[in-house]
Structure formats: structure tokens, C-alpha cells
Chains A and B, each alone.
Chain A
């Protein structure tokens, strides 16, 4: 089972080109999508989630196993209903009906997703509520939930009906560290036999969770592959130096500074160079360096 995105483009009516010929192949497992704000991550995910149309290009879900609603291949842009039967989508921003209990709402969603048997539905809902740690508050109205609880409700909503394609857009925003770990464990458990697309701007999450990733910037894919391999390619090309804040601009002119960070009152700059830089120390690159190195190729990043 894999998801093939080919030359996907989208221009909004206000002239913003959100996607410029995005091509990706996403295999089973967790796939991390990194990118700065406004890079087109959400546009891409909404398109895959059948919520918006693309101008050109194709998205295909191939090799769906037997037992799902439509075994075989699916064209996401045209066979929307069939795709929605195997889809779990957690949007970046969402709301809830304030005067419905979590249990009732999940039950309704389960029936919409085609689980007709009442008892089976109840079991699934109870199981999910337990998984996302909302079992104790299942009888409370959704309007009384805190931000983190709402987020967990959103996660439960996306996981109903054992979806084959799970798209989660910044799922851990607003979760405390314990809940975040819990969610990551839940995701990696599910990720074994489904496609999970995880968009985030927490670089660390991708390192920990994803076997595959892509970096998107200004509507284009700038890097794709296994995070460890990508970082390995960068070995020996990232250099660091501690400088005064006022010197940053001069360094920017002479070097390719990829990131600047305050460390104990001094500013640490990371620069990208294929040859060793004088006065700079070598560092072992991590995914964050890769991220900044790729992003700075496309646009100016100011962090200090």
C-alpha cells in the first residue's frame, strides 16, 4: 500500500501558489512532513483528505488490501467517497459541537463511517476513549473540554473505523509532554500497517517517529528520504561559532549562516559549507541543521 503524489499544483483564488508541482511517494509507516509556516503543508494534507481540489496533478492510493471498502487502487481526486471510507483526518484547527458529549459524538461519527452494529460501535468508542485518556470525561459536553482534551478528542475522531490512511496536521500542538508521548506511542502502534502522514514543525518529533520524511518550502519539496540518511549527507558540512550578536550580520554576508541561536548569553551560529571554515568548529549535524540548510536555500530565515 502506498500513496503516490504526482506533480500536484494548487493556486488559490487570491493568487497564492500553495503547491507547485509536488511529487512524493509515501509508503506504509510514519511519514513526517516538515516545513515553515505557510509552506503548503496544510494545503497538501487537505487535498489528500479530499477536502479541496487540486488544479493539476494526481494522487493515487495503490494496493489497498482486501477487506477494505475498495481493494485495489484509488484515485483520491476523483473517488472521494471511497477514499473517505479509509481515511482518518485530524485538521490543524477544528471545533466541536459544544453541547454534545464525547461519547455521543464519537458514536455518531462511527455510524457515519459505516459501523452499523450498535454494540460493535459502542465497543470501538469505549476503546478509543480509553486510548486517548478521555474515558473518565466521556459523559461531559465537548464544550467544557480544555484545549488538550479537545485535541485528544480530535485524535480519537480520526482513528475511528480503523482507517488505512491517517493524516494528522500538527497533532501535538497544545498537548502536555505526557500526553504527547502517549499520542506518539499510539501513532507508531497504528503506523505499522497504515500510512500515517504527520505534519509538524517540531523537528525532534520527526527524528523520533518517522522512517521517511519530506521538507516542504514555498510549495515545493526540497528534500525527501529517511531522516538519518539525509542527516548523514550533511556530515562535515555544518560548522559552528560563538559570536557577538552585533557580528551576526557581517557573518551573514560572508558565510551561509543557516541558523542562529542564543546559548548562555552568546550567539551560536551554524554555517553551511562544503569546505572547512577557518575559526569555525565542526559539529555533528542533526535534523534541525538539515531543516535550516534546506529552508535557507529557498528563503531568508531570521531567528535572532
Chain B
């Protein structure tokens, strides 16, 4: 049950352009900051020092929060928004499989998007 819903959620997300758009924005944001040296590193530290990178990751996650709310807010709400709840819940699905499948499906996508953002630094 979990597997089916998880796979469906992944496929659904991967087909949406928004997923790639979020990843691209985060990537560019990080990438541009780092190549122009406007990161948190001072003149006497390396731009790619572990300290500077971890500081910048903190900044990145602040923006990541916006993405997270956009991605993680809808997996369950989607059934109400599109009025599919009227028949979706008449299928032999378990509550746990449904909620967790939807949650982790979106969560994995979110991890992917954040990873792309991090990659740029």
C-alpha cells in the first residue's frame, strides 16, 4: 500500500514543472552567490571553507522553507482540493499507507530539490 502511493506521489511530483523550477531557483541562487564571492566568508577565509559553506547552507535553508511549505503542504490536501476524496477513500487503502506514502513521496522530492541547491555551493 505504502509503496504504491509513494511511487504515485513521486511520479506525480516528477511530472510537475514546479519541482524543477524550485530546484533551478535554489541552484541559481546559491551558484551566483558563491561565484561572486558574496557568501559568508570574510577576506581571510576561503570561500569554500567548511565554515563558510555551512553558514551558507543555513541561509539556503531559510529559502528552502518556502519551497518546503509549497511542496509538503499539499500531498493530503490535494484530495480535498480536487474533490477526489469522494472516491479515493472508497479504495481499499490503509490510513497509514496513505498518509505516510504521500508524505514520504513529497519529502523525497523536497530532499532532492534541496540537494540540488546545496550542490551549487
Q: Which of A's residues lie within 8 Å of B, judged by CB?
A: 49-51, 81, 84-85, 87, 89-91, 93-100, 104, 108-109, 111-114, 154, 157-158
- For B15, the chain A residues whose CB sits under 8 A away are 99-100
Q: Which of B's residues lie within 8 Å of A, judged by CB?
A: 1, 4-5, 8, 11-12, 15-16, 78, 82-84, 86-87, 89-94
Question: Which of A89, A95, A104 touches B83 (beta carbons < 8 Å)?
Answer: A95
- For A100, the chain B residues whose CB sits under 8 A away are 12, 15
- Do B90 and A84 touch across chains, with their CB atoms under 8 A apart? yes
Given contacts A97-B78, A104-B11, contact A158 B92 (CB under 8 A): no
Query: Could you write out 13 A-B pairs with CB less than 8 Å apart?
Result: A49-B90, A81-B92, A84-B92, A89-B90, A94-B87, A104-B11, A109-B91, A112-B4, A112-B93, A113-B91, A113-B92, A114-B92, A154-B87
- Do A99 and B4 touch across chains, with their CB atoms under 8 A apart? no
Interface majority SS on B: helix, strand, loop or mixed?
Answer: loop
- Do B92 and A96 touch across chains, with their CB atoms under 8 A apart? no
Question: For the complex, what is the distance from the CA of A108 to the CA of B86, rounded to whole Å?
Answer: 16
- For B78, the chain A residues whose CB sits under 8 A away are 97
- Do A91 and B4 touch across chains, with their CB atoms under 8 A apart? no
- For B90, the chain A residues whose CB sits under 8 A away are 49-51, 84, 87, 89
- For A157, the chain B residues whose CB sits under 8 A away are 87
- For B83, the chain A residues whose CB sits under 8 A away are 93-95
In the complex, what residue of chain B is closest to A83 when comparing beta carbons?
Answer: B92
- Do B86 and A93 touch across chains, with their CB atoms under 8 A apart? yes
- For B16, the chain A residues whose CB sits under 8 A away are 99
| CB of A101, distance to nearest CB on chain B (Å) | 9
- Do A91 and B92 touch across chains, with their CB atoms under 8 A apart? no
- Do A158 and B87 touch across chains, with their CB atoms under 8 A apart? yes
- For A114, the chain B residues whose CB sits under 8 A away are 92
Question: Which of B82, B84, B86, B92 touches A112 (beta carbons < 8 Å)?
Answer: B92
Question: For the complex, what is the distance from the CA of A91 to the CA of B85, rounded to whole Å?
Answer: 10
- For A111, the chain B residues whose CB sits under 8 A away are 4
- Do A96 and B82 touch across chains, with their CB atoms under 8 A apart? yes
Q: A94-B86, A96-B82, A109-B91 are in contact. List 4 more A-B contacts (CB 8 A).
A: A93-B83, A98-B82, A112-B5, A158-B87
In the complex, what residue of chain A is closest to B92 when comparing beta carbons?
Answer: A84
- For A112, the chain B residues whose CB sits under 8 A away are 1, 4-5, 91-93
